[in-house]
Amino acid sequence: MFKYLPLLWANLGRKRLRTSLTLASIVVAFLLFGLMQTLRVALTGSPELAGLDRLITMHKTSFIQSLPLAYLNRVKGVDGVLVASSQDWFGGMYQEDRNQLATFAIEAPTFFEVYSEYQLPPEQKQAFLQDRSSAIVGKLVAERFQWKVGDTIPMRSNIWTRKDDGGNVWPLKIAGIYEASNGDNQSIYMHYEYLNESRAEIRDMIGWVVVKVSDPDRSAEIARNIDALFVNSSTETKTSTEKAFIQGFANQMGNIGKLLTMVAAAVFFTMLLVTANTMGQSIRERINEIGVMKTLGFSGRGVTSLVLAEAILVTAIGGLIGLGLAALVSKGLSAAVAQFFPVLGMPAATWGIGAVLIVVLGSLAAALPCAQAGRLKIVDALRKT
C-alpha cells in the first residue's frame, strides 16, 4: 500500500484550497471531540481512580454542608474502620482571583494513612506534620508558580475570614511537594487545626470524613453502621464508597455528559457530510482518470481501495492535528481551572477512540464515492475526456 502513497498525496494537493478547507473542518471536529472528552471526564469524574477500600461520610443533604468535628472520633470507633481522616474545603486563591487552587484543610497525620498514593520525601512529610502553618502542594501547581520547599505563600480563601484581623489571607509555608498516582497533582493540603483555630465563622466543624476500611467486602455494612450512629440527629450522614461518591457526583452531571456527547455527534455528522461531499466532488472530477487507471489494469476493487485510502488519509491528517491541538488546549486549560478540576487533561483513551472514529468516518465519507468509482465502466469514463 505504501507504493500508492505518492499518488494519494498528489491527489490531496489537486485542489489545495478545497483540501485545506476540508482538513480544517476535520481538525475542528476532532478538536471539539478531544475537548468534549476532556470536559466530560472532568465533569463526571474518574471513578476508576477511587480507592476500593475507602468510604466517604458526608452530610446527608449535601457535601457542602458541614459535620461536627466530634463525628470524626465516633467514626473511628466503628468496627471495620482502619483509619478515618477529616477534610474541609478552604477555597484557595493565589495572588489573582483567576488563580483558583483546590485547597483542603486536612487532619494531617491520618491523611497519609488513608491516601497512600500521595508520596513525598520523608523529611518533607515530617516537616509538614510538625508545622501547623505549613502545607504540601502538588508537583504541577508548584511548577506552575515556581514554588520551592520553604517558600511561604499567602493563600486567600473565598469562604472563610480570619477572626484576628478580618482578612482572608492564610500564609502557608510549603513543607513539601507531593506526587500522587491518582493524577491529583494540582491541589494544596493544609492543616485543619490551623484553619479551625483562626477562622471567624465556625469552629469544630469539618467538611467530610474519608474512611479506610479493613475489608472492602464489608464496605456496605460498615457504611450502614456509620450512618446508624447519627440517625435521627440534627446532622445525619450519608456514607458511600469513594467510587460511588465520585459516581454520584458524575450522575449529577449526567445530562451535561449526554449533552456533550450529542454535540460531538452533531459536529461529526456535519464533518461527515463535508468530507463525503468533497470526496464525491473529487471523484466526479476524476471520472476520466479512474477510467484510465482501470484501462491500465487497476481493478474496480483497487480503485475503490485508493478512494477509501484517500478519504481515510485526509481524515487521519485532520483528526491527528485536531486531537493534538485538543491535548495542548486541555493542558493549558488544566492550569486555569485547577481548583475545580484537579485531574483535568485529555484522557489517553481519546486517542484510541479518535483512531476508530478516523477509520469509521473516513470509510463512511468514502462509501458513495467508492461505489461510484468501483461501478464505473471504462468506456463510459473515457468518453468524459
Partner 1 sequence: MADEALVRLRGVAKDYKRGSETVHVLHALDLDIPKGDFLALMGPSGSGKSTLLNLIGGIDRPTAGSIEIAGQRTDSMSDGDLGRWRANHVGFVFQMYNLLPVLTAERNVELPLLLTKLSAAERKKRANAALKLVGLSERAHHKPRELSGGQEQRVGIARAIVSDPTLLLCDEPTGDLDRKSGDEILDLLQALNQQQGKTIIMVTHDPHAAARAKHVLHLNKGQLGHEAAA
Phi, psi of 4 (to 5 degrees): -90, -5
Report d(CA 210, CA 215) in Å as an integer: 15
Q: Tell me which stretch binds partner 1 (CB under 8 A): 118-126, 212-220, 339-347, 376-384.
A: 376-384
Q: Pick from 13, 77, 122, 332: which binds partner 1 (CB under 8 A)?
A: 13
**Least distance from partner 1 to the Cβ atom of residue 121, Å:** 56
> Which residues, 284 to 323, sit near partner 1 by CB under 8 A?
288-289, 292-300, 302
What grid cell was written down for 128? 509538614
Nearer to partner 1, 309 or 326 (CB): 309
Phi, psi of 248 (to 5 degrees): -60, -40
Nearer to partner 1, 212 or 294 (CB): 294
Pairing type for strands 54-59 and 237-241 reads antiparallel
Quick one: which of 217, 293, 270 has its CA closest to 32? 270
14 binding partner 1? (CB under 8 A): yes
Nearer to partner 1, 8 or 335 (CB): 8
**Least distance from partner 1 to the Cβ atom of residue 3, Å:** 6
Report d(CA 202, CA 65) in Å as an integer: 12
Nearer to partner 1, 253 or 292 (CB): 292
Nearer to partner 1, 328 or 378 (CB): 378
Report d(CA 292, CA 66) in Å as an integer: 77
The DSSP line for 54-121 is EEEEEESS-TTS-EETHHHHHHHTSTTEEEEEEEEE--EEESEEEEEE-EEEE-HHHHHHH-TTEE--
Q: Tell me how many degrees the CA angle 264-266-272 measures, rounded to the nearest 5.
A: 100
11 binding partner 1? (CB under 8 A): yes
Nearer to partner 1, 238 or 294 (CB): 294
**Least distance from partner 1 to the Cβ atom of residue 295, Å:** 5
Residue with grid cell 470524626, as numbered in its chain: 72
Report d(CA 218, CA 220) in Å as an integer: 6
355 binding partner 1? (CB under 8 A): no
Nearer to partner 1, 300 or 345 (CB): 300
**Least distance from partner 1 to the Cβ atom of residue 115, Å:** 58
| End-to-end Cα, the chain, rounded Å | 28
Pairing type for strands 103-106 and 205-206 reads unpaired
Residue with grid cell 505518492, as numbered in its chain: 6
Q: Pick from 62, 146, 255, 385: which binds partner 1 (CB under 8 A)?
A: 385
**Least distance from partner 1 to the Cβ atom of residue 377, Å:** 8
77 binding partner 1? (CB under 8 A): no
**Least distance from partner 1 to the Cβ atom of residue 291, Å:** 8
Residues binding partner 1: number (CB under 8 A): 24
- Beta-bridged to residue 85, according to DSSP, are 210
3-state class (DSSP) for residue 286? coil
Nearer to partner 1, 290 or 344 (CB): 290
Task: Tell me the residue length of the chain.
Answer: 385
**Amino acid in the structure at residue 145:** F
6 binding partner 1? (CB under 8 A): yes
**Least distance from partner 1 to the Cβ atom of residue 272, Å:** 25
Using an 8 Å Cβ cutoff, are 298 and 292 in contact? no
Nearer to partner 1, 288 or 363 (CB): 288
378 binding partner 1? (CB under 8 A): yes
7 binding partner 1? (CB under 8 A): yes
281 binding partner 1? (CB under 8 A): no
- Beta-bridged to residue 157, according to DSSP, are 92
User: Can you give the binding site for partner 1, defined by CB under 8 A?
Assistant: 3-4, 6-7, 10-11, 13-14, 288-289, 292-300, 302, 378-379, 382, 385
